[in-house]
Amino acid sequence: MSVPSIAPRRHRVVIIGSGFGGLFAAKHLKRADVDVTLIAKTTHHLFQPLLYQVATGILSVGEIAPATRMILRKQKNAEVLLGDVVGIDLKNKTVTSKLLDWERVTPFDSLIVAAGAQQSYFGNDHFEAFAPGMKTVDDALELRGRILGAFEAAEVTTSQAERQRRLTFVVVGAGPTGVEVVGQIAELAHRTLEGAFRTIDPSEARVILIEAAPAVLPPMGPKLGLKAQRRLEKMGVEVRLNTMVTNVDYMGLTVKEKDGTEHRIDCACKVWSAGVQASPLGRILAEQSDGTECDRAGRVVVEPDLTVKGHPHVFVVGDLMNVPGVPGQAQGAIQGAVYATKQIKADLKSDAPATRQPFKYFDKGSMATISRFNAVCQVGKLEFGGFLAWLAWLGLHLYYLVGSRNRLIAVISWFVTFLGRGRGQMAITERWVFARRAMDQVQERNNTPKAIG
Residues annotated as part of the active site = 180
Euclidean distance between CA atoms 313 and 368, whole angstroms: 36
* Nearest CA-CA partner of 301 in 316, 284, 279, 311: 316
Q: Is 213 exposed, middle or buried (0-12, 13-18, 19+ CB in 10 A)?
A: middle
C-beta separation of 298 from 322 below 8 A: no
Euclidean distance between CA atoms 265 and 391, whole angstroms: 36
C-beta separation of 86 from 95 below 8 A: no
The letter for the amino acid at 295 is: D
Question: Angle of helix 176-187 relative to helix 222-234, nearest 10 degrees?
Answer: 20
Q: What is the 3-state secondary structure (H, E, C) of 256-294?
A: ECCCCCEEEEECCEEEECCCEEECCHHHHHHHCCCCCCE
DSSP readout, 360-416?
------EEEEEETTEEEEEETTEEEEEHHHHHHHHHHHHHHSSSHHHHHHHHHHHHH
C-beta separation of 311 from 139 below 8 A: no
| Residue 365, Ramachandran bin (φ over 0: left; ψ between -120 and 50: alpha; else beta) | left
Taking CB atoms within 8 Å and a gap of at least 24, the contacts of 341-349 are 341/25, 341/28, 341/29, 341/32, 341/112, 342/28, 343/305, 343/315, 344/11, 344/13, 344/29, 344/32, 344/34, 344/110, 344/313, 345/29, 345/32, 347/110, 347/313, 348/11, 348/32, 348/33, 348/34
Euclidean distance between CA atoms 104 and 261, whole angstroms: 53
* Backbone angles phi and psi of 401, in degrees to 5: -65, 140
* Dihedral sign computed on CA atoms, order 252, 183, 44, 319: negative
The letter for the amino acid at 128 is: E
Q: Which parts of 275-362 fold into alpha helices (H)? A: 281-287, 330-347
- Eight-state DSSP code of residue 218: G
Euclidean distance between CA atoms 189 and 203, whole angstroms: 5
